[in-house]
Structure 1
Amino acid sequence: MKTHTTGLKILVPLLALGLLVAMTLPPPFGALAEAQFPKVHFRGTATAGEVIAPRCSNYVVGIRVDEILQDPQGELSPGQKVAVYYQTTHGFRSGDLLEVFGTSYLTEGPPECADSVVVEEAEGDYIGLMVKFTGTVLAVAQRIGGTTWTVEVEEVLLGHPISGQVDVQWIIAVPPCQGSYDPDIGLCDGVEVHGMYADGSVDLCPSADYYIRTVRPAVHFYLPIVLLGQIAEE
């Protein structure tokens, strides 16, 4: 009994010490990032092509800041060069126009990500190519979750050179889709598209600046019913 009591006398102070140490430890990295490190949103030009990242994440691209959309701590300035890390390869090339939304470690942060912006795509961050082009609508698919327009590209007005058929998507999502569209767009209409391009499709949702709108309504020819009947008889 005496030995048991002695053991308790030693154990209780040790437990108290452990609890005290646990209370003074910093929060997990994810919670720390959410609490202390701001989100930044900007557009810019790739100064070099995408490369495999030696640290912090899987890939990295250098970007010159052209337009600042969100910068709560004033860490960005036009012309500044920023390293942006991300998880999924996009094959960015020098000169590509990019839009970035991610966590800023430009002032402080983990050593492996110092002086950079990190895009956590699984957490709703994004990095992508900005494009603007005109084309002709080949198909319209309206679903409960949104609308997809298949557009044949005719002229690229801004950004990455693309060609052929591109799906333009407006979807119901969380957070809400910010882009806009003309609800009357139909087959064969000429349209102008501005959005974020990746893997053969354009996403209108990341920015309120993105859109698909009619610039050249399709011309439809209607023949009188009587004339159609005569053609059928012949």
Structure 2
Amino acid sequence: MNYAIITGASRGLGEAIAEQLMDQQVSILSLSRTSNEALKQRAKEKGVSFYHVACDLSEAEDTERAVARASEIVFRPDTDYIYLVNNAGVVEPIETVGQLDPDSVSKHIRINVTAPMVLTNHFLKEANSRSIQMGIINITSGAAEKTIHGWSVYSSSKAALNKFTETLALEQKDRTHTIISFSPGVMDTEMQDDIRSSSKDAFADVEKFKKLKEEGGLRSPEEVAAVLMKLLGDKSIENGKVYRLYDLI
């Protein structure tokens, strides 16, 4: 049996990845605040399992509880392979330094950085102890490598995630796991709604993102997920690397 643990699978890119992994006969475990009935129905149609473990990744105790429950589900005697897709993320707070809300910053880091580290640490330890191969995919952003007005927190969190991925790959070089970061570019998701609702004082490039939406410059999550699926099937994939959508299409 193959399983995929996907954070934020209830919508957007996480949902699209779950759908396309189901097409490959992979059972899905969704870690998110809300479930997705469409995914549950799709799993029935594809003859795979779908589990939802409710979890608020900004809360440490809730995350620990959910991780323990997820382990009970996916680590079975017949488990062959486990994907971990650290997809859940937030872009807020979009604000200039000096105007940032400390609580918002802390919540952001817990979701975008701490949660992927904690989940990877737990599931990798379990997988290694049982000699189960993993595919670890950390969803990053081009913002990790750019200086963007109003995005100091988001850019920093994604840069941290990239370095975590690179270090993890180095530490696991003697094993056969797949460990990458994947940068999906700009997609037509709710995160883009948050970005476009920013004020120009908080985010100087807000009009650029509004124009992308108006001119149809946003890719669908389904299109992006298809590129990721093709990448994961490439035997020459390089561990620790940041793969960017625009380099793959």
TM-score between the two structures when normalised by the length of structure 2: 0.27
More contact order relative to length (CA 8 Å, sep ≥ 6): 2
Greater per-residue strand proportion: 1
Larger radius of gyration: 1
